[in-house]
C-alpha cells in the first residue's frame, strides 16, 4: 500500500494571503508617495509622477520614502517662527519615527516574502517534513559556488508575514499621509 501524499491546501492559502497582504503594502506605499509628490493626477506632471512611481521597484519606493525625514525640515518648509518651528519639529520627529519603523518592517516583510515566493516547494510524501509543515528549497548561486538550503514552513509562520505586511502598511500609509498634512498645514 502506498502512503498518501500530505495535502497542503492551508499552506497555499496562507501563501496567497501573504502575497495579497504584501501587494497591499506595496500599493499603499506607492499610492501615498504619488499623492505626496503630486496630488493632481489629471495633470501632465501628476501623470508623470504616477508613471514614475508605478515603475519603481518596491526597494526603490522604500528608498524614496526613507529620504523624506531628511527632506522635510522646518527650514525647507519655510517655517521660521520659533513656536511654529518647535511644533513642526515635534510633528516631523513623530512622523519620521513612525515611517522608519514601518519601512524597517516593510523591508523585513519583503525579504521574507521573497524567500517564500522564490523557493521550490516540496509536496511529495518522499521528502520528510514534520507534521503541519511544508518544506521548501532555496538555491543561491554566488561567485565561487552554489548553496542549497532546506527549510520547513508552518502555516502560522507564513500567516505571521501577512500580519507584519498589514502592520507595515498601516504604519507607512499613516506616516506618508501625515507628511502630506504637514505640507498643507499653515505653520
Task: List per-block mean pLDDT (blocks of 10 residues) for the chain, which spans 187 residues.
Answer: 64 96 98 88 85 94 97 95 96 98 98 93 71 85 88 94 98 97 92
- Those residues whose C-beta lies under 8 Å from the C-beta of residue 97, and which sit 6 or more positions away, are none
Give the pLDDT score at 58: 97
Q: Report residue 5 as a C-alpha cell.
A: 501524499
Give the pLDDT score at 21: 98
Q: What is the DSSP letter of 125?
A: T
DSSP-based three-state secondary structure for 147 = strand
Burial label for 24, CB within 10 Å (0-12, 13-18, 19+), is middle
Give the pLDDT score at 1: 45
Looking at the DSSP bridge assignments, the partners of residue 140 are: 147
Which helix H or strand E contains 136, and what residues bound it?
strand 133-142
Whole-structure pTM over 0.85, yes or no? Answer: yes
Q: What are phi and psi of 41, to 5 degrees?
A: -65, -20
Amino acid at each position: 500500500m502506498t502512503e498518501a501524499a500530505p495535502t497542503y491546501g492551508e499552506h497555499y492559502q496562507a501563501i496567497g494571503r501573504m502575497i495579497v497582504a504584501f501587494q497591499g503594502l506595496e500599493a499603499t506605499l506607492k499610492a501615498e508617495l504619488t499623492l505626496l509628490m503630486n496630488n493632481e493626477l489629471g495633470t501632465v506632471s501628476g501623470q508623470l509622477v504616477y508613471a514614475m512611481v508605478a515603475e519603481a521597484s518596491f526597494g526603490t519606493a522604500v528608498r524614496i520614502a526613507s529620504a523624506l525625514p531628511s527632506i522635510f525640515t522646518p527650514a525647507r518648509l519655510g517655517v521660521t517662527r520659533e513656536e511654529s518651528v518647535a511644533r513642526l519639529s515635534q510633528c516631523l520627529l513623530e512622523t519620521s519615527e513612525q515611517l522608519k519603523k514601518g519601512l524597517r518592517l516593510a523591508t523585513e516583510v519583503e525579504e521574507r516574502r521573497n524567500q517564500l515566493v522564490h523557493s521550490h516547494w516540496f509536496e511529495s510524501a518522499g521528502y520528510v517534513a514534520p507534521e503541519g509543515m511544508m518544506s521548501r528549497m532555496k538555491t543561491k548561486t554566488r561567485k565561487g559556488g552554489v548553496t542549497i538550503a532546506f527549510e520547513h514552513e508552518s502555516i502560522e509562520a507564513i500567516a505571521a508575514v501577512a500580519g507584519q505586511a498589514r502592520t507595515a502598511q498601516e504604519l507607512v500609509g499613516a506616516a506618508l499621509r501625515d507628511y502630506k498634512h504637514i505640507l498643507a498645514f499653515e505653520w
